[in-house]
């Protein structure tokens, strides 16, 4: 009986040591709750597997990929008004291209319904980050016109196309 108690105590200590050692390792990685939240409510439509460039079929596919430790990449146009030197207030401009976890120096193009699908409205390259990924944060400055307009972006390195975005209300 005493031997059984000793084995139980040793087993309990081993489990406790493993739990204490695993805690900081999991905390350092950050878990996948942030990624899971970004996948929900249509967020998966702007994300794809960073390793393969494959778009996610649905939010569950996106969350599952994150749970297995995979990296996700994002590329989307935020339909907000922009104000900078390239855009006058009277003309009204919109669209901020945002991207994270892209390939280093990935080529991107933005297409606008007024210029068609063969001529990019804007082009550029993702900026290199220390961790070996690329990011994009660019005012695209799509002009406001009287007609309804849409835009989408393409990561030409991976062949990923974002969902079409409509100009903001008030354009």
Task: List the domain boundaries for the chain.
Answer: 1-30, 33-166
How far is CA 129 from each of CA 14, 64, 106, 133, rounded to the nearest angstrom?
Answer: 40, 26, 12, 5
pTM of the predicted structure, to 2 decimals:
0.64
pLDDT tens sequence for the chain (171 residues): 444 453 344 444 343 333 333 334 333 344 556 667 777 787 777 677 766 666 777 888 777 777 776 677 788 899 988 877 667 656 678 899 999 888 888 899 999 888 877 889 999 999 999 888 899 999 998 888 877 678 889 888 877 788 888 888 877
Buried b (16+ CB within 10 A) or exposed e, 96-131: bbebbbbbeebbbbbbbbeeeeeebbbeeebbeeee
d(CA 121, CA 86): 14
């Amino acid at each position: 009986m005493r031997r059984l108690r000793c084995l139980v105590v040793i087993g309990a200590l081993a489990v406790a040591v493993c739990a204490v050692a695993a805690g900081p390792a999991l905390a350092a990685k950050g878990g996948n709750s942030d990624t899971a939240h970004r996948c929900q409510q249509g967020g998966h439509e702007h994300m794809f597997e960073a390793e393969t460039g494959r778009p996610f079929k649905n939010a569950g596919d996106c969350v599952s990929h994150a749970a297995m430790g995979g990296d996700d990449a994002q590329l989307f146009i935020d339909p907000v008004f922009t104000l900078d030197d390239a855009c006058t207030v009277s003309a009204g401009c919109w669209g901020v291209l945002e991207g994270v976890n892209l390939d280093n120096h990935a080529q991107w193009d933005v297409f606008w319904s007024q210029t068609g699908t063969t001529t990019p409205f804007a082009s550029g390259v993702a900026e290199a980050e220390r961790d070996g990924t690329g990011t994009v944060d660019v005012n695209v400055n799509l002009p406001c016109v009287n007609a309804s307009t849409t835009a989408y972006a393409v990561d030409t390195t991976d062949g990923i196309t974002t969902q079409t975005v409509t100009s903001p209300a008030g354009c």
